[in-house]
A and B are shown apart, each in its own frame.
Chain A
């Protein structure tokens, strides 16, 4: 078990490469919280007139928009602004060493950023909205993630 500390979201411009998730990634934002990349699973009603109560079977998860809030910093704000309307790949890393030892999820989508409300007793924040376009894949054991500066990350296929 681990706390949410050092949970991270990384991005790169989308590539249909043959190397899969391998490559160079950057941290999208320093998040204050990191919402789930997956929506709730619905239930399909399969009741018949003979049933005394509703009977369901598992359906599929809803797609979501992740709203990731973090400190408003010019460096990150400018970078994300330039990514608007570009298809991106995302990696979400869970684990307190910051490299996804607990779980790693990968998906594609789009991101845009907007400033949040300014408050006298809090630091300025911004929220990145990530439209999740593909089913997040759990790739915890398929890749390894390394970094030297905690901003740029190298992802390689697990050996």
Chain B
């Protein structure tokens, strides 16, 4: 049975941490993936902020006593203090990792949040049925 409160977030964060670390260990040794409450000026750069924002139940049957599937949505933001290009590069890698888990992406316009901090924002969603693996 799928769960609306199932912890897909930790699985996603584990994969992001592993694959981003592998890809950027030389270029961005301080890169971190966090799930804490959103902060405007992270302590390390680049910072990838990941949060599961909703799981919506889908495909109910007449028995209605279990969850057959959920539409799961994540918001992931990449912050960098050097350039928008850095944030975009890491954001593209995030999208590739999310695609490897079959998530669909929506990339929101990049925004310069505060002076000297660049970020890109992506939302990713996927239908996850009861017996699916990420």
Asked whether A and B interact, the reply is: yes
B103 to chain A, nearest CB (A): 11
- List, in ascending order, chain B residues with CB within 8 A of A106's CB: none
| A8 engages B129 (CB within 8 Å) | no
Q: Mark A1-33, 1 if CB is under 8 A from B, else 0.
A: 000111110000000000000000000001111
**Contact assessment for B130 and A123 in the assembled complex, using a CB-CB cutoff below 8 Å:** yes
Who on chain B is nearest to A4 by CB? B62
- How far, in whole Å, are A68 and B81 apart by their CA atoms in the complex? 57
Given A122-B127, A123-B129, decide whether A6 and B68 contact each other with a Cβ distance below 8 A: no
B11 at the interface (CB under 8 A from A): no
Q: Distance (Å) between the CB of A99 and the closest chain B CB? A: 13
Q: A71-B68, A123-B68, A123-B69 are in contact. Are A31 and B129 (CB under 8 A)?
A: no
Judge whether A71 and B61 touch: CB under 8 Å: yes
Contact A33 B127 (CB under 8 A): no
Interface 1/0 per residue, A59-73 and B, CB below 8 Å: 000000000001100
Q: Which of B61, B71, B102 is the one whose CB lies under 8 Å from A30?
A: B61
Q: Is the interface of A mostly helix, strand, loop or mixed?
A: loop
Chain A residues, Cβ within 8 Å of B129: 123-124
Tell me if A150 is interfacial: C-beta within 8 Å of chain B. Answer: yes
Q: 1/0 contact trace for A91-135 toward B, CB 8 Å?
A: 000000010000000000000000000001111100000000000
Interface size on B, residues (CB 8 A): 15
Smallest Cβ-Cβ distance to A31: which chain B residue = B62
A70 to B68, CA, bound (A): 11
Contacts between the two chains (Cβ within 8 Å), count: 45
- State whether A6 and B62 are in contact (beta carbons under 8 Å apart), knowing that A71-B68, A121-B71, A123-B69 are contacts in the complex: yes
A123 touches B62 (CB 8 A): no
Q: Is A143 an interface residue (CB 8 A)?
A: no
Report yes or no: B62 in contact with A33, Cβ–Cβ below 8 A: yes
* A121 (CB) vs chain B CBs: closest residue: B127
Report which of A6, A122, A124 forms a contact with B63, defined as CB distance below 8 A: A6
A32 to B71, CA, bound (A): 18
Please name all residues of chain B whose beta carbon is closer than 8 Å to the beta carbon of A33 when the two chains form the complex: 62
Q: Is B85 part of the contact surface with A, judged by Cβ < 8 Å?
A: no
| B104 CB → nearest A CB, Å | 8
Ranked 5 nearest A-B pairs via Cβ: A123-B129, A121-B127, A30-B61, A123-B59, A123-B69
12 interchain pairs, CB-CB under 8 A = A4-B62, A5-B63, A5-B64, A6-B63, A30-B61, A30-B62, A32-B62, A71-B59, A71-B68, A98-B63, A121-B71, A123-B127
